[in-house]
Amino acid sequence: MTSVPLTTPVIDARGLGRDFTRVSGPLLRRRRERVNAVHDVTFSVAPGEIIGYLGPNGAGKSTTMKMLTGILSPSHGRVRVCGLEPSRQRTLLAGRIGVVFGQRTTLWWDLPLRDSLALTRHLYRVPAADHAARLAELTELLELGPFLATPVRQLSLGQRMRGDLTAALLHAPELLVLDEPTIGLDVVSKSAIREFLLRLNTEQGTTILLTTHDLGDVERLCRRVVVIDHGSLAFDGDLARLRATAPTPRTLVVDLAGPADPIEVAGARTVRVEGPRQWLELSANPAEVIAAVAGAHSVADLTLREPDIEDVVARLYSSGRAAAGAPRREDPVSG
Amino acid sequence: MVERALVPYARLAWAWCRALAQYPVSLVLLTLAQLGATGVELLALLFVFGHVDALAGFTLHEALLVYGLTGTAFWLADLLMGSVERLGEHIRTGSFDTMLVRPVSPLVQLATDEFSPRRLGKNVPSAVALATALGALDIDWTPGRAAMLVVLVVSGTAICCALWVLGACVQFFVTEARELANALTYGGSALSEYPLAIYGHGVARAATFLVPLAFISYQPALYLLDRPDPLGMWPHLRYASPVVAVLLCALAAAAWRTGLRHYRSTGS
Ligand SMILES: Nc1ncnc2c1ncn2[C@@H]1O[C@H](COP(=O)(O)OP(=O)(O)OP(=O)(O)O)[C@@H](O)[C@H]1O
Ligand SMILES: [Mg+2]
């Protein structure tokens, strides 16, 4: 099991946990309740990896990101990021990582983007020449040119996100931590940001840790994913293995000539009926099932849908909970 | 301290000034507005002296000295540290999280947030009052006393800065506590614009030992005027302003560190 790491990890979390006390009820009869937002999370990230940190709402993803960046101190366990202890060496660490929270901005609402970025330069003490060179490079890659002079409050969400990414990268960090970087963006903006992140990773070797609910992000960017559920680690391994761990059947969508009773054929189970359209979960070879369906019904159209990551993760959550919440873990795949 | 706080402070304040200098008209208008807001308080003091010759034994010029010392210290502190009162708002909106992931002390970032020289407008009436009082009063100017004037103004400013920070620290625990913080800062300064003697013993004691407002202007004024305290408090208190400033700043720093340690961000 123990393997000697060839390189020191960028992130090394061992038994990481965080509790919150939640106060509720009327003033006089307040009840204090301990919430275990993150519980015994262990994982490590090697330089140059892109890791997807996945889980349903309230799983503890943002709380983990906050512990990794030093915003919150852990209640249990220990963590090293770039060899530093985030909560104690927060300021030192901040100069070596870039952080973007998709839900909030690091830019200043009232200032034009260019001025916001200039202020960022002063915060990170980037020499003027380096700043100019890096800004020119990022302006080209992220196509910031048309709105550099626009006040941040007037930027669209996609433009603002590109501005935030620039602000997080001007000091050339080793590690980029992204909490839902594509939230609310349209397809074009999402794909622009994905391609940019891939380039950053391959050309400059920047390690990237991102949380997302967008499975397009995961499929395009992450070879390895870490899944947490109810604060505990549920999976750590590569994407293909996640699919294998929680095998998810393909779905056959059948459009019949008219409304009918649920189709009954061998090798498939009808899971949903809506008028003439029916969804069949396949457990046998699709070709045989299609032949059987076409033989017994008059079919207008057929579509075979591959399971996407969303189904896989959902299945992992439900099976994980069924197995008495025992977290299943795989050895990290060195990337 | 210099490397970690003062240098970044100066750099950020300067960067903000340059960013805001692009809107010169609004800068001038806002400066005038701020000047007007504090000018009204000075007019109120002058109005009172239109009806009486002295307040608790303090003549117009002596009262102007107290007013000028308070205003100078408080509005300088407001210029330097006033923005920290918005801590609760930054916590609620999550922008405090973004300050924590930058390599500069979040206190410095908070204090320089939207730093603008327009706040100097608030300093004008108290500077005029101080200059008038110092010119009119018959003060025995030895070199020591002149140097002490500078020390006293710096101490008063430091005390006010510490009050701003202490007020902000409360917001680590109750993010809606801005009004409470304002009661401490604005309330405290309004109280010490007049010689404390007019409030009587109870208030004066509270303003000496509980919240040390007396060391911003009242005790320094007694020192400069070289006169006994009409309330009969310990005469050596008039030398204590620098010591009080150091202690209060240390307390504020400790409170800030405690608040940061207990910071729990917001869910989402
Ligand atoms: N500051 C806080 N105070 C109290 N409880 C908190 C706080 N922050 C998070 N929590 C709780 O911790 C749990 C995990 O929250 P977290 O924000 O980490 O989830 P998440 O995985 O990021 O979810 P989402 O996908 O919705 O962003 C939730 O139950 C949340 O209510
Ligand atoms: Mg989150």
CB-based contact, B26 to chain A, within 8 Å: no
Q: Assess whether the C-beta atom of A23 lies below 6 angstroms from ligand 1.
A: no
Inter-axis angle of helices B178-191 and B60-81, nearest 10: 150
- Looking at residue A155, its pLDDT comes to 93
- Looking at residue A329, its pLDDT comes to 41
For tokens 């000295």, name the residue. B65
Question: Tokens for A256?
Answer: 């019949």
Residue of chain B minimizing CA distance to A98: B101
Task: Name the more confident of A108 and A50.
Answer: A50
SS3 state of residue A335: coil
Q: Residue B248: what residue type?
A: L
- Residues of A numbered 39-78 whose beta carbons fall under 8 angstroms of chain B's beta carbons: which are they? 62, 66, 69-73
Are residues A70 and A94 in contact, defined by beta-carbon separation less than 8 angstroms? yes
The partner residue sitting opposite A106, judged by closest CB among B12, B98, B268, is B98
| Residues of chain B positioned with their CB less than 8 A from the CB of A103 | 94, 268
Q: Say yes or no for a CB contact (<8 Å) between A69 and B105.
A: no
Q: Of B7-16, B67-76, B100-109, where does mean pLDDT reach its minimum?
A: B7-16
Q: Which helix (H) or strand (E) holds A117?
A: helix A113-124
Query: What CA–CA distance (Å, rounded) separates B121 from B37?
Result: 9
Q: How many domains would you assign to chain B?
A: 1
The partner residue sitting opposite B94, judged by closest CB among A20, A70, A104, is A104
- Looking at residue A30, its pLDDT comes to 75
SS3 state of residue B217: coil
Banded pLDDT at B78 (limits 50, 70, 90): very high
Res A137 pLDDT > 50: yes
Q: Is B171 among the domain residues?
A: yes
Q: Which of B172, B262, B268 best tests ligand 1's pocket when mutated (most atoms within 8 Å of CB)?
A: B268
SS3 state of residue A179: strand
Task: Name the more confident of B238 and A334.
Answer: B238
Q: Is B267 among the domain residues?
A: no
Q: What would the pLDDT profile of A208-231 be if each residue is shown by its tens digit? A: 999 988 888 888 999 899 999 889
Res A3 pLDDT > 60: no
Q: What would the pLDDT profile of A81-107 be if each residue is shown by its tens digit? A: 999 999 999 999 999 999 999 888 899
Please tell me the number of the ligand nearest to residue A38's CA: 1
Q: Say yes or no for a CB contact (<8 Å) between B15 and A119.
A: yes
pTM (whole model) above 0.90: no
Res A133 pLDDT > 90: yes
Task: Name the more confident of B21 and B162.
Answer: B162
CB-based contact, B94 to chain A, within 8 Å: yes
CB-based contact, A105 to chain B, within 8 Å: yes
Query: What CA–CA distance (Å, rounded) separates B63 from B42?
Result: 11
CB-based contact, B3 to chain A, within 8 Å: no
CA A110 to chain centre: 30
Task: Name the more confident of A63 and A5.
Answer: A63
Burial of A84 (0-12, 13-18, 19+ CB in 10 A): middle
Disruptive mutation site among A65, A92, A123, A211 for chain B (greatest number of B CBs within 10 Å): A123
Strands A224-229 and A50-54: parallel
Segment B159-174 shows an average pLDDT of 93
Burial of A298 (0-12, 13-18, 19+ CB in 10 A): exposed
Banded pLDDT at A199 (limits 50, 70, 90): very high
pLDDT, chain A, mean = 86
Q: Assess whether the C-beta atom of A59 lies below 6 angstroms from ligand 1.
A: yes
Segment B102-131 shows an average pLDDT of 90
- Looking at residue B172, its pLDDT comes to 92
Burial of B82 (0-12, 13-18, 19+ CB in 10 A): buried
Q: Is B268 among the domain residues?
A: no
Are residues B224 and B171 in contact, defined by beta-carbon separation less than 8 angstroms? no
CB-based contact, B95 to chain A, within 8 Å: yes
Torsion sign (Cα): B51, B54, B60, B63: negative
- Residue B153: CB partners within 8 Å, gap ≥ 6? B69, B72, B73, B76
Question: Tokens for B128?
Answer: 């005029």
Segment A167-194 shows an average pLDDT of 92
- Distance from the Cα of B186 to chain A's closest Cα (Å) equals 27
Which residues span the domain enclosing B99? 2-262
Burial of B165 (0-12, 13-18, 19+ CB in 10 A): buried
Q: Is B61 among the domain residues?
A: yes
Segment B151-158 shows an average pLDDT of 96
Q: Say yes or no for a CB contact (<8 Å) between B12 and A104.
A: no
Strands (E), chain B: 54-55, 58-59
Beta bridge partners of A210: A52, A178
- Looking at residue B40, its pLDDT comes to 86
Res A110 pLDDT > 90: no
Res A1 pLDDT > 70: no
- The CA A209 to ligand 1 mean position distance, Å, reads 18
- Looking at residue A187, its pLDDT comes to 87
Query: What CA–CA distance (Å, rounded) separates A335 from A174?
Result: 16
Are residues A261 and A282 in contact, defined by beta-carbon separation less than 8 angstroms? no
Res A245 pLDDT > 60: yes
The partner residue sitting opposite A111, judged by closest CB among B11, B19, B101, is B19
- Looking at residue A323, its pLDDT comes to 42
| Residues of chain B positioned with their CB less than 8 A from the CB of A115 | 19
Res B242 pLDDT > 50: yes
Q: What would the pLDDT profile of A282-326 be if each residue is shown by its tens digit? A: 888 888 888 888 888 888 898 888 776 667 777 776 765 544 333
Q: Residue A228: what residue type?
A: I
- Looking at residue A331, its pLDDT comes to 40
Q: What would the pLDDT profile of B187-229 be if each residue is shown by its tens digit? A: 888 888 889 888 888 898 888 888 999 999 999 999 998 888 8
Buried-exposed string A307-316: b where 16+ CB fall within 10 A, e elsewhere: bebebbbebb
- Looking at residue A113, its pLDDT comes to 93
Which ligand 1 atom sits nearest the alpha carbon of residue A56?
25
Segment A324-330 shows an average pLDDT of 40
The partner residue sitting opposite A72, judged by closest CB among B12, B105, B265, is B265
Burial of B140 (0-12, 13-18, 19+ CB in 10 A): exposed
Task: Name the more confident of A287 and A12.
Answer: A12
Res A332 pLDDT > 70: no
